[in-house]
Structure 1
Amino acid sequence: MLGQALIHRIQRARGLDQVAEKVSGSVSAVTRPTPVKNALSGSWLGHQLHPVLTDLPIGAWGAATALDLTAGEEGAAAARRLVGMGLIASAPTALAGASDWSDTNGKDKRVGLVHALLNATASALQAGSWIARRRGRRGVGVGLSLVAVGFTGVSAYLGGHLSWVRGIGVNRTAFQKRVGRWTDVAAELDVAEGELRRLTIDDIPVVLTRHRGQLHALSAVCTHAGGPLDEGTLDADGCVTCPWHGSRFRLADGGVERGPASVPQPRWEVRVDAGRVLLRSA
């Protein structure tokens, strides 16, 4: 398939790495403050923000093109407004996407870079279209928008590959089954304060720890990208930080304290019976 051939070519383009790493470093610096990272990652939303925002510019530009092709001069004013609305919406959409992209690696980062460049090109063309329409050159504006929509379509194809083929942004615990029975996992006295102990219950990795004397357990696979939480760090506030991208989760309820994770970490109930620690899905 032509699309797959394009993706494979981009994945092998190691020449993109230098640019990607430089841009990624700048994005990481901008998103380092926790409120910024959480806002752009969608930690407050329950899933990633970028896919939600993409509907706004694509929808506005698609509607503008539909008016261009079917409404003629009667729809010219509305089409110009829609092009402008898409441009406004494209800014936060790009910021959210850049934040997500900065936490990818290797082949995915290369594809994401081309995805971003295509979107930037489409936005520049739509800006030119809006200016042309504003100056009364509707035909030029329509032509620029049509070309821009083509770039957007190719970019969307690459974005779909990252999401649905590569699983970027997909909750890595989504298919973990619930364990309803209490399962004996350790002796209570063997769990030291601050230790992050990895266990396996029905093939599900779990991290068990003791914080301020109280036992807590979460699924050990980070919801963001699958990082091993048992290899992370436990802080004084009772939060565990993933070693891969720095997502931070509360032990008490699995809630996200810092992105890029946007989905809470599955929590496990803990019970102590006759000196033994038992767990089950919360």
Structure 2
Amino acid sequence: MSMPHRAVRRLEKAETLDKVAKPVSSGAKRVVRPRLVRNLLSGTNLGHPLHPALTDVPIGAWTMAGLLDAVGGREAEPAADLLVKAGIVAAVPTAVTGLNDWSDTIGPERRVGLVHATANSTALTLYIASLVARARGDRRKGKALGFAGFGVMAISAYLGGHLTFVKGVNVNRTAWQQGPDEWTPVLAAAELAEGEHRTADADGVRILLHRTDGTVHALAATCSHMGGPLGEGTFEGGCVTCPWHGSTFRFADGGIERGPASTPQPCYETRIQDGRIEVRVPPAAAPAEVAEHRAHRARRRLARTPAT
């Protein structure tokens, strides 16, 4: 295990950070609770989380400012100053969206996220001080503060990458689920009364079934946001609300009514055949894509079959 990885692992186990992380997280949850705020900050209507996209702006601006400060010379000073300003302005919405996402984490992710946010705040403070020094004509001090800010930002970026790519924070939890592309029986129709719900297995994927107005609807049972069990959620108005973070999905099409989810819930076609509820992935793909998908699934089944 590399030294950076060991350091992050220690942060994950640093329970003393919970003394600060828990109350700050609780306060953030109250601030982002309104539906409009939650949807906006989560990227609900964007199709994926908003925070990662926004981070590119301050990181890019401050990196280029550092490059110009290092090798640009006097002629590049106005451009470097402009880039520092752009990074400062962009850091504000980036921090707000990050706070929204972080408020949903617990345990190791919340601890690392707290240090990530602290490092970002430190970098922002250093860049503001750098901008002030530049405005006063003290370019040497301004550059030094900028380089310090860049160093702290690099550490913070590493922690952000760890949260996303190692811990899977805000990664779509249904991305690798492949439901059946052929009609597959999952439950006896008599076992699902009007207004009731059940979870069942469909070719290795957990499916949430709900009957309303005589129609059986089916969604993936794992919340796309953070993997919450939708079968333990609440059901109202043709929607299901995740018990973990309150993401609300429509049964009709899997669309999102309320974040923090930003990826729609996989939705399946249903029918009742010979007294059994059957489900399948909607055949929306082109015929060639369907054939390729079926061949891939056949290879997976073959790989799982024990050798004789």
What TM-score results when the alignment is normalised by the length of structure 2? Answer: 0.89
In the alignment, the residues of structure 1 paired with residue 159 and residue 197 of structure 2 have an alpha-carbon distance, to the nearest angstrom, of 38
* Corresponding letter in the other structure for 1:271: R
Write out per-residue CA displacement over residues 83-114 of structure 1, whole angstroms, 9 at most, x where no aligned residue. Answer: 01100000000011110000000011000000
Structure 2 unaligned segments of length 5 or more: list them. Answer: 283-308
Local SS of the residue matching 2:27: helix
Match of 2:235 in 1: 234
* Corresponding letter in the other structure for 1:220: A
* Corresponding letter in the other structure for 1:170: V
Match of 2:294 in 1: none
Matches within 5 A, 1:189-200: 189-200=190-201
Local SS of the residue matching 1:210: strand
In the alignment, the residues of structure 2 paired with residue 154 and residue 188 of structure 1 have an alpha-carbon distance, to the nearest angstrom, of 55
Match of 1:255 in 2: 255
Structure 1 unaligned segments of length 5 or more: list them. Answer: none
CA contact (8 A) 2:179 2:203 kept: no
Matches within 5 A, 1:36-51: 36-51=37-52
Matches within 5 A, 1:39-118: 39-118=40-119
CA contact (8 A) 1:196 1:231 kept: no
Match of 1:183 in 2: 184
Offset, 1:260: 1.2
Match of 1:172 in 2: 173
In the alignment, the residues of structure 1 paired with residue 109 and residue 195 of structure 2 have an alpha-carbon distance, to the nearest angstrom, of 35
Match of 2:131 in 1: 130
What TM-score results when the alignment is normalised by the length of structure 1? Answer: 0.97
In the alignment, the residues of structure 1 paired with residue 92 and residue 152 of structure 2 have an alpha-carbon distance, to the nearest angstrom, of 17
CA contact (8 A) 1:224 1:261 kept: yes
Local SS of the residue matching 1:160: helix
Write out per-residue CA displacement over residues 7-37 of structure 1, whole angstroms, 9 at most, x where no aligned residue. Answer: 1221121111021011111111110001101
Write out per-residue CA displacement over residues 211-241 of structure 1, whole angstroms, 9 at most, x where no aligned residue. Answer: 2222100000110111111111111x21101
Local SS of the residue matching 1:164: helix
CA contact (8 A) 2:179 2:202 kept: no
* Corresponding letter in the other structure for 1:234: F
RMSD (Å) for aligned C-alpha atoms = 1.0
In the alignment, the residues of structure 1 paired with residue 174 and residue 211 of structure 2 have an alpha-carbon distance, to the nearest angstrom, of 23
Local SS of the residue matching 1:253: coil
Offset, 1:274: 3.7
* Corresponding letter in the other structure for 1:280: R
Match of 2:224 in 1: 223
Offset, 1:178: 3.6
Local SS of the residue matching 1:268: strand
* Corresponding letter in the other structure for 2:261: A
